[in-house]
Each structure stands twice: as C-alpha cells, then as structure tokens.
Structure 1
Amino acid sequence: MTQKKQIPSLVKDPKLVKKRREQMIEAAVSLFIEKGFHKTTTREIAAKAGFSIGTLYEYIQSKEDVLYLVCDSIHQQVEDRLLEAMKEKENSLESLKAAMKHYFMVLNDMQDQVLLIYQETKSLPKDTLHYVLSREEQITEIFEEVLKKGIEDGSIHLDPREIKLMAHNIVVLGEMWVFRRWALTKQFSLEDFIEKQTRLIVDQLSVAK
C-alpha cells in the first residue's frame, strides 16, 4: 500500500491531535455532504467543530488535509467493521458470506460518506490521491484473502487466477447499492439485495451447490 501521508501538526500531544482531528472530520463530513468540498471553507469547518480558525491550522495545513483525513477515516471504518464481521466463522465460505453481508450493511450506513469519497477525491493532490485509492484496494484485498483461504480449506471452488476479479466483483456489487439505490429501492429492500447478491456470488463458489 502507498505510504500513509503524515500531516504536520504544531501540537505535539498525540491524544489531543487525535481528538481535534476527529472533531474536524465529523464537522467536515457533514459540511462536505451538504455543500461540497469546494464550497466549504476552513472557517466553516472550524466553527462547526467548535474551535477557532487559528486552532484549526494548528492541526492541519490546508483544506485538502481535512479531505484526506475524512477519506482515510471513512475507509478505516469500513475496513474495521468488515474484519470484525469475519471473526470466528467455521470456514472461509461462511466468512465470505458474513463479510459480504456486513460490507453491504456498512455501505448502506455510510452511503453519503462513500459518495463523498468518489465525488471529492479528485480534489486531492496526486500523491495523497494514490494513498486514498490504495485504501480502496486494501478493502478489496480483504475479500481476496478470504477467497484464497477458501480455496485452501476446500470451502470455495474458484480458479486462483480469478481471485482478484471475483474480489473486485464483490466490492462493486456493494457499491451498486450506494450508486444505484435510487432505482434499486423501488423493488428491493436492503435485506433482499444482500440475500440475492450473496447468493449470486456463493452459487459460483460453492463446491456443493
């Protein structure tokens, strides 16, 4: 994965930096969703976070730094919830089912934030954009690892050459709910969508169909 960007801070207390940046992220997500990145000012972010513009610039150097922190936070939440869902399953096929279910549920819970990433990351500097995109790839790699383990334990039947493609298929199926929910919700509930898309994948992977 591309190396994580280190954002300089004038404040040297790590706990305080973490706390203030979390406040910034929460404020910025709300404002970016409402107004968009370009129409939101750092002064508005500071005010919504509950401190002065001077204090804001003790913890970041630019509005692009705030956008980077927002994107990284969103990806981390998705990844953490996905990994938590996969614990203590009897085999990799069951882990995959659990991962898909919770991945789709996380995207539903965070649909505005996910849309924000796709809409606003173009505003990031090139090196920072590469890191944010690599976080997206890291989530895909979680599914790749489950598929590899399933081939090894015999619970998943898949040509190893197709692992990466299948992992990307799963990720895109989840994102479909975010990008096409305006049409999908006319016919499907989230539960229906999860059940049908999981069955679509599992039917292709199960040894005993």
Structure 2
Amino acid sequence: MDQDNKDIKRSEGTQSGRTRRRREQVISVAQKLMKERGYDAVSVNEVAEIASISVGGLYRYIGTKSDLLEMICDEINLGVIPEMRKAAAAQTDQADKLRAAFSVYWNRVWDYASSISVAYREYIHFPEEFKQRHTKEQADIANTFAEIIRSGISDGTFAEVDAYVLSYQMLLLSHIRVLKGWALREYDKMAIFEENIQLVLARLRLK
C-alpha cells in the first residue's frame, strides 16, 4: 500500500473513531437527561448543546426526537447474542454453557441498567416499528437460552421443562437490577447472579 492510500485509510479510521465517540456522547447525554426528567421534558436542542454538537450535526444521527430513544436502546443489545453464543461454545457441559450465556446477558443488563430503565419508562414514545424490532431482539435472546436448554433436555442433561417459558424467566431475572435495584444496592452483582443461575439450574436438575 503506497503512502497516499495509507494516509486515506488513517483518515477514514480517525473519522470513524470520532463519529463513534460523538454518537456515544449523544447517547450518554440523552440517556442522562431522560432518566432525570423524562422524555417529554428533554429537547433535541438541549441534547445538542450539552453534547457540544450543533443541532444540524445532531440531525446527522437522528430524524426525530424519538430516534434518541432508539439510539439508547440499540446500544443495549448490540452484539450481545454473538457474545452469548461464543461464551457458550467455549464450554462443553450443558449447564456451563447456559451459565456462560446467562452471565454475558446478565452483565450486559447490569452495565446498561440506567438505559434500560429509561426504555421501560419511555416505551410509549417508541414508534411501532421499533417496538416490533425490540420485541424480536428480546425473542432472539430468549431463544439463545432456549436452544441450550433444549439441547440439554435432548441429551439427558436437563429435566423436561418448557424451554420457552424458562428462557423468558431468565430474561426477567436478568432485569432484576432495573426492576428492583433499590432493594439490592448492598449486594455484589455476581452474588446476585449466582443466586439466579442456581434457581434456573435447580429447575433443570434431573430428579
């Protein structure tokens, strides 16, 4: 590669990194403001000002104000299923596969609890198309758990259960910090994780 092409590639990489950081800044500001005051009390102009970006620049990332909510939520599940599958594939025992996949999702939800809290509260403001996409993303995550559970049932590792129902119970358990975080402030996240994975494995344990 000649020097001119190297310079172009370096410039493209710098621009890409700058764009990504700017997007992350916009998401961080929008999430903070909406958590503090709610969707209706936050303006696009305010987000742009606090994020140190022009309103015109902000509209490079969004078409409408509700797109800010979509940006917040898109970050939550971005790449999580491949991470879950990779973690599960690194294990041989079915229980360890389920634990590994659950741990990935658990940590993702724990780390993005504030954003998820905003999504719960402001769900009414999402466009219908996004609601449908979000529902599918949740179904795909649940199905990742269900696939491991069904595989364990098939090879005799796990007891017969309704894998669909249990997989959605795992989603709900993962959201415990969002739903009941006020009651768990004194607890370590992995201690809570261990309690919850043991609940799941107890249900799957052969009698």
Return the TM-score normalized by structure 2.
0.79
Kept in 2: contact 1:87–1:95 (CA 8 A) = yes
Distance in 2 of aligned mates of 1:166 and 1:178: 20
Q: Which residue of 2 aligns with 1:98?
A: 100
Kept in 2: contact 1:91–1:153 (CA 8 A) = no
**TM-superposed deviation, 1:17:** 6.6
Which structure has greater helix proportion? 2
Report the CA distance shift for 1:53/1:178 in structure 2 as closer, same or farther (over 3 A).
same
Distance in 2 of aligned mates of 1:33 and 1:77: 24
**TM-superposed deviation, 1:77:** 5.6
Distance in 2 of aligned mates of 1:117 and 1:79: 20
Q: Which residue of 1 aligns with 2:193?
A: 194
Report the CA distance shift for 1:48/1:79 in structure 2 as closer, same or farther (over 3 A).
farther
Q: Which residue of 1 aligns with 2:76?
A: 74
Q: Which residue of 1 aligns with 2:37?
A: 35
Moved more, 123-132 or 25-34: 25-34
Q: Which residue of 1 aligns with 2:179?
A: 179
Give the partner amino acid of 1:156. F
Report the CA distance shift for 1:50/1:84 in structure 2 as closer, same or farther (over 3 A).
farther
Distance in 1 of aligned mates of 2:41 and 2:59: 19
Q: Which residue of 1 aligns with 2:167?
A: 167
Please tell me whether residue 64 in structure 1 is matched to residue 63 in structure 2: no
The equivalent position to 1:127 in structure 2, one of 126, 129, 141, is 129
Kept in 2: contact 1:81–1:102 (CA 8 A) = yes
Kept in 1: contact 2:80–2:104 (CA 8 A) = no
Kept in 2: contact 1:68–1:132 (CA 8 A) = no
Give the partner amino acid of 2:108. V
**TM-superposed deviation, 1:174:** 1.6
Q: Deviations over 1:24-61 (max 9, x none)?
A: 22332222223222211111221233210012123321
Secondary structure of the structure 2 residue equivalent to 1:180:
helix
Report the CA distance shift for 1:27/1:205 in structure 2 as closer, same or farther (over 3 A).
same
Unaligned runs of 5+ in 2: 1-14
Report the CA distance shift for 1:54/1:76 in structure 2 as closer, same or farther (over 3 A).
same
Aligned-pair RMSD on alpha carbons?
2.6
Return the TM-score normalized by structure 1.
0.78
Report the CA distance shift for 1:47/1:81 in structure 2 as closer, same or farther (over 3 A).
farther
Aligned residues with identical type, % of pairs: 26
**TM-superposed deviation, 1:67:** 1.1
Q: Which residue of 2 aligns with 1:48?
A: 50
The ranges of structure 1 where at least 4 consecutive aligned residues each deviate by more than 6 angstroms after the TM superposition are: 13-17
Pick the structure with greater CA Rg.
Answer: 2
Kept in 2: contact 1:107–1:174 (CA 8 A) = yes
